[in-house]
């Protein structure tokens, strides 16, 4: 039995643009960055004006209204772009990009306010900052303005001609044709000189979820995540599996160090510096792809073969603040692992049970239930007072599995 057949899902494919198309896409990314910064400037100016008026004793109902919403920001842009950006009207760039840039800025402002007032869960969100070129090139289209033109090309407003893709789009085109999918947005992004398009979809996954649904008699498991061994998986059948992470960043450290040294030896603004910067970006992209491939393969396999999965709630943000383990924690991708596992289990009919953050899974004896409060992180093996010998990771996975069954 499947769950959540109609879901929001992304479909990402790499583009193969011509040099002319890549140049125009870069100009669209610059337009999006310009409008985002324009909107932020308007928001900051309004806040500064309100603060000044409050200091003068102006009543609250007479204070200058700040442009909080995307509609407000878009109206300002439409009214002022002939004066502040006269080049836009004759540039031939899509008018949908500034609209989405205003939406992105308004969403960031709302996230900051909800985080400040306690309405948003999770780590605190700061006030929006200026977007710079080094933050990456990307722009968005709303609704289905951008869409597949064939099984090997997409149409992007403002981009001349059809933009070819490196991979077929048949999965998407078939679902769009029979109504199983609907495009609700699109993001075009550049990384290391390569371009990707990501379609945000409202898609019916009933056929896929039914075909790949987890079996009713599939085992349940507990998973302990760690740095020494990425995941120790203990099934209710007693089977134990250790999964080692590729540690993509660690493996690339030597190449990254050499590439960064070469980059800093190059003269500012030179063609050789641009090539060296490209080399660094390519290494980082390969690291991200290797890590992402590992996480997707593991989470997909678990979601399709385990009826229920017990995991621990990790304070990843707190772990990263420890300078001795920050790089290793970031390289592992614990947060992304839990995120992928959560939505994939919803797809395939299994479930994820998350233990309380303070549950002592490693310190509790899985044989007698006694808690070894003196256990340190350096102790990988320990012996309980009942005589049971434990590997801390295997023991933690067993305890997580037992705690899930007890609820």
Q: Which is the catalytic residue, given 190, 312, 346, 391?
A: 312
What pLDDT is stored for residue 6 in this prediction?
86
Average pLDDT on 208-225 reads 93
Mark whether 393 is an active-site residue.
yes
Annotated catalytic, 224? Answer: yes
> Would strands 308-312 and 220-225 be described as parallel, antiparallel, or unpaired?
parallel
204 is known as an active-site residue: no
Of 72, 74, 100, 393, which residue is the catalytic one?
393
Complete DSSP assignment for 150-213 = ETTEEE-TTSSSPEEESS--HHHHHHHHTTSEEEEEEEEEEETTEEEEEEEEEEE-HHHHHHTP
Burial class (CB in 10 A: 0-12, 13-18, 19+), 132: exposed
Q: Does residue 4 register a pLDDT over 80?
A: no
Pair 70, 177: CB distance under 8 Å: no
What pLDDT score was predicted for residue 147?
Answer: 95
**Mean pLDDT calculated for residue range 30-35:** 97
Supply the pLDDT for residue 407: 83
Q: What is the residue whose two structure tokens read 């064939």?
A: 150
pTM: 0.89
In whole numbers, what is the pLDDT of the chain averaged over residues? 93
Catalytic residue among 190, 224, 331, 346: 224
Question: Over pLDDT 70: what percentage of the chain?
Answer: 99
Selection from 381, 11, 37, 378 nearest residue 184 by Cα = 11
What residues form DSSP beta bridges with 147?
155
Q: Above 50 in pLDDT, residue 28?
A: yes
Q: What is the secondary structure of 286-335 as a DSSP string? A: HHHHHHHHHHHHHHHHHHHH-SEEEEE---HHHHHTSTTTHHHHHHHTHH
pLDDT value of position 293: 97
pLDDT of residue 334: 95
H helix or E strand, kind and range, residue 147 = strand 147-150
pLDDT digits (tens, 9 = 90+) for 124-159: 899 999 999 888 899 999 999 999 999 999 999 999
pLDDT at residue 1 in the model: 41
For 331-382, what is each residue's pLDDT tens digit? 999 999 999 999 999 999 999 999 988 899 999 998 898 999 888 888 889 8
């Amino acid at each position: 039995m499947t769950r959540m057949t109609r879901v929001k899902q992304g479909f990402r494919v790499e583009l193969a643009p011509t040099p002319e198309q890549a140049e125009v896409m870069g100009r669209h990314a610059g337009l999006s960055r310009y409008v985002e910064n324009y909107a932020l400037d308007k928001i900051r100016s309004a806040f500064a004006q309100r603060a000044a008026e409050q200091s003068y004793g102006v009543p609250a109902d007479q204070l200058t209204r700040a442009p909080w919403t995307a509609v407000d920001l878009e109206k300002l842009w439409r009214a002022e772009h002939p004066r502040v950006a006269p080049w836009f009207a004759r540039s031939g760039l899509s008018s949908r990009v500034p609209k989405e840039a205003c939406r992105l800025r308004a969403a960031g402002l709302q996230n900051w306010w909800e985080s400040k007032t306690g309405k948003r869960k999770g780590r605190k969100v700061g006030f929006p900052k200026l977007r710079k070129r080094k933050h990456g090139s990307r722009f968005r289209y709303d609704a289905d303005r951008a869409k597949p033109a064939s099984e090997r090309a997409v149409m992007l407003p403002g981009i001349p001609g059809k933009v070819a893709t490196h991979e077929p789009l048949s999965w998407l085109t078939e679902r769009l044709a029979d109504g199983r999918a609907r495009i609700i947005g699109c993001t075009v992004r550049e990384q290391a000189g390569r371009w990707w398009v990501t379609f945000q979809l409202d898609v019916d996954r009933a056929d896929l979820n039914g075909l790949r649904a987890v079996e009713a008699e599939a085992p349940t498991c507990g998973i302990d995540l760690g740095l020494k061994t990425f995941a120790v998986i203990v099934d209710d059948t007693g089977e134990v599996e250790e999964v080692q992470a590729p540690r993509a960043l660690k493996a690339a450290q030597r190449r990254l160090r050499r590439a960064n040294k070469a980059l800093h030896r190059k003269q500012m603004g030179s063609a050789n510096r641009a090539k060296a910067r490209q080399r660094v970006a390519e290494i980082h992209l390969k690291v991200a792809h290797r890590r992402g491939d590992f996480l997707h393969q593991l989470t997909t396999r678990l979601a399709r073969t385990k009826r229920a999965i017990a995991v621990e709630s990790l304070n990843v943000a707190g772990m990263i603040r420890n300078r001795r383990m920050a790089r290793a924690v970031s390289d592992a991708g614990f947060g992304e692992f839990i995120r992928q596992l959560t939505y994939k289990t919803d797809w395939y009919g299994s479930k994820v049970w998350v233990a309380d953050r303070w549950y002592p899974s490693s310190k509790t004896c899985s044989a007698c239930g006694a808690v070894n409060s003196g256990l340190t992180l350096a102790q990988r093996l320990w012996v309980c007072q009942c005589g049971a010998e434990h590997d801390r990771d295997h023991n933690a996975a067993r305890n997580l599995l037992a705690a899930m069954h007890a609820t």
